Amino acid sequence: MMARSTLYLMKVLMKMNLAQFETVRTTVTFPAELIQRSQHFVDSGQAPNRNSIIVAALERFLVEMERDEIDRAFYASADDIAYHALNEGLAEAFADNDWEALTQGEQALS
């Protein structure tokens, strides 16, 4: 099931006027079933046209792939010894400041 934010994004993208963007005309081949299923949403007025559905779906797919790419980069750092050493060094360098900030915050609350 799609998150509400994803559905909202898709609705916004489908309503966007492509004239405001630089566009490129291309030819793609789709399975007939996808064309039939998308036509249902065009015919019912839920999407202005098939192109808007394709643009919205491609945007959603690319956002997901880009997030996965960022996640893979972070996962790679899990085994990076230099990264861990740097983080430990930073934590040690700021330990006194962190402790001072914590105690001042607790004093302000009491």
Residue 11 vs residue 49, higher pLDDT: 49
Please report whether residue 24 resides in a domain.
Answer: no
Q: What is the pLDDT of residue 21?
A: 78
Q: What's this model's pTM, rounded to 2 decimal places? A: 0.58
Q: What is the pLDDT of residue 8?
A: 67
Please report whether residue 39 resides in a domain.
Answer: yes
Same-domain pairing of 15 and 65: yes
Q: What is the pLDDT of residues 59-88, one digit of tens each?
A: 889 999 999 999 998 888 888 888 889 989
Compute, in degrees rounded to 10, the torsion defined by CA atoms 57, 62, 68, 73.
-170
Same-domain pairing of 89 and 46: no
Q: What is the pLDDT of residues 20-60, one digit of tens each?
A: 778 899 999 999 999 999 999 999 988 888 988 898 889 88
CA 11 – CA 3 distance, rounded (Å): 13
Residue bearing tokens 């960022």: 70
Same-domain pairing of 53 and 90: no
Same-domain pairing of 65 and 40: yes
Same-domain pairing of 49 and 98: no
Same-domain pairing of 71 and 94: no
The residue segments making up the domain with residue 42 are: 1-19+29-79
Burial tier of 56 (Cβ tally within 10 Å: 0-12, 13-18, 19+): buried
13 touches 52 (CB < 8 A): yes
Is 1's pLDDT higher than 60?
no
Same-domain pairing of 58 and 48: yes
Q: Long-range pairs for 81-85 at CB < 8 Å and ≥24 separation?
A: none
* DSSP character at residue 59: H
Same-domain pairing of 94 and 62: no
